[in-house]
Structure 1
Amino acid sequence: MSTKYVLDAAGRRRLMATPAGWIATGFGSGLAPKAQGTFGSLAAIVPWLLLMRLPVWGWVLVIVASFALGVWACNVAGRLIGVDDHRSLVWDEFVGQWIALLPVILVPGLAWVVLGFVLFRVFDVWKPWPISWLDRRVKGGLGVMLDDVIAGLFAAVALWIIQSFVLYQMRFLLL
């Protein structure tokens, strides 16, 4: 298995000894033995639930600040372990998941949170163009973050379209 997928105990210690490592690993959620991105996305829902009452402009500020923080943290963490986009670096999942869940702020509901999670994971794993293009060409902390931001945007648009369709259909059922 390549070093992109294996992080030895010394690498974990190096990451968790720095603030950048804590942030980049999603407070340790990226150190799961498998499905690190999924664990990172699940962990991202906890702070989202705590902050979901923020107005949309508040979420935009949180996302922009978290993106900038993630570029720095993932860049530092990648250099610490010698792998640019290691699977344990999941702060990009946090930011991408938060973007994917933006429509839930407008139309709340647990089913929408679950669907937003699933849609984000699908776009993050599938990586349709331009996500795959960015993933291959943009390196460093910016590269780690950028493809998941776009996957989050794709998932948010898909979720918003589904919400709009369902709400439109419900309108006719209530008439």
Structure 2
Amino acid sequence: MSMDRLLATWFYSGLLRPAPGTWGSAVAVAMGLILHRIGHFPLLALATGLVIVLGFWVVPRYTAGMADPDRSEIVIDEVAGQWLALMAPSFGFWHAGLTADNFPWPGWVAAFLFFRLFDIWKPWLVGRADRRHDTAGVMLDDLWAGIFAAIATIIAAGVAHGVLM
């Protein structure tokens, strides 16, 4: 197996069935929680930036010569988008002074669920990026979904903490 395939499928998590995108997102959440625990928000932010760059580099390499660049086994885009979504609660916890081993479950669960919602639903800019049908679109739709999920997670946290507590 090639290094391009290893990275594009995010260590072969994109080969899991059914719903490889959901598996890729779940693996991304688990890895994101580990990154948060090791180095808090700054490490997660750095890793997110690196995986975005890596995704834009590896997706065209992996799909070169393929008719459809948006193959279901490619999940590095889910990792990038999911980590963008996770950055919202990670930043909030870091900013609030919580220790790195503290990442309460509502934050990461909300980031996961909102990301999957926007990635599947594909509203507005997510859908526009998906309709590009090129290697940049493979990454861009998930980055937009991650941004939307981050915003939705922040709003949900504001409602939960402002209204429910």
CA offset digits 1:31-56 (Å, max 9, x no partner) = 01320100000011121111114354
Return the offset for 1:138: 5.6
Aligned residues: 154
Q: TM-score, normalised by structure 1?
A: 0.81
CA distance, structure 1, for counterparts of residue 85 and residue 122 of structure 2: 15
Return the offset for 1:80: 6.1
Return the offset for 1:137: 1.7
State the one-letter code of the partner of 1:34: P
CA distance, structure 1, for counterparts of residue 44 and residue 17 of structure 2: 31
CA distance, structure 2, for counterparts of residue 84 and residue 109 of structure 1: 37
CA distance, structure 2, for counterparts of residue 81 and residue 28 of structure 1: 19
Q: What's 1:152 paired with?
A: 146
Alignment equivalent of 1:162, drawn from 144, 156, 159:
156
- The unaligned stretches of length 5 or more in structure 1 are 1-16
Q: TM-score, normalised by structure 2?
A: 0.86
Alignment equivalent of 2:124, drawn from 129, 146, 153:
129
CA distance, structure 2, for counterparts of residue 32 and residue 57 of structure 1: 30
Alignment equivalent of 2:115, drawn from 110, 114, 120:
120
CA distance, structure 2, for counterparts of residue 146 and residue 31 of structure 1: 21
Give me the identity figure in percent: 35
Alignment equivalent of 1:28, drawn from 2, 12, 22:
12
**Does structure 2 retain, via aligned residues, the 8 Å contact 1:104–1:112?**
yes
**Does structure 2 retain, via aligned residues, the 8 Å contact 1:20–1:72?**
no
CA distance, structure 2, for counterparts of residue 78 and residue 137 of structure 1: 15
CA offset digits 1:65-122 (Å, max 9, x no partner) = 1111011111111126543110000000011111111122124311221121111000
Q: How do residues 55-134 of structure 1 correspond to structure 2 at under 5 angstroms?
A: 55-79=40-64, 81-105=66-90, 106-107=92-93, 108-134=103-129
- The unaligned stretches of length 5 or more in structure 2 are 94-102
**Does structure 2 retain, via aligned residues, the 8 Å contact 1:37–1:87?**
yes
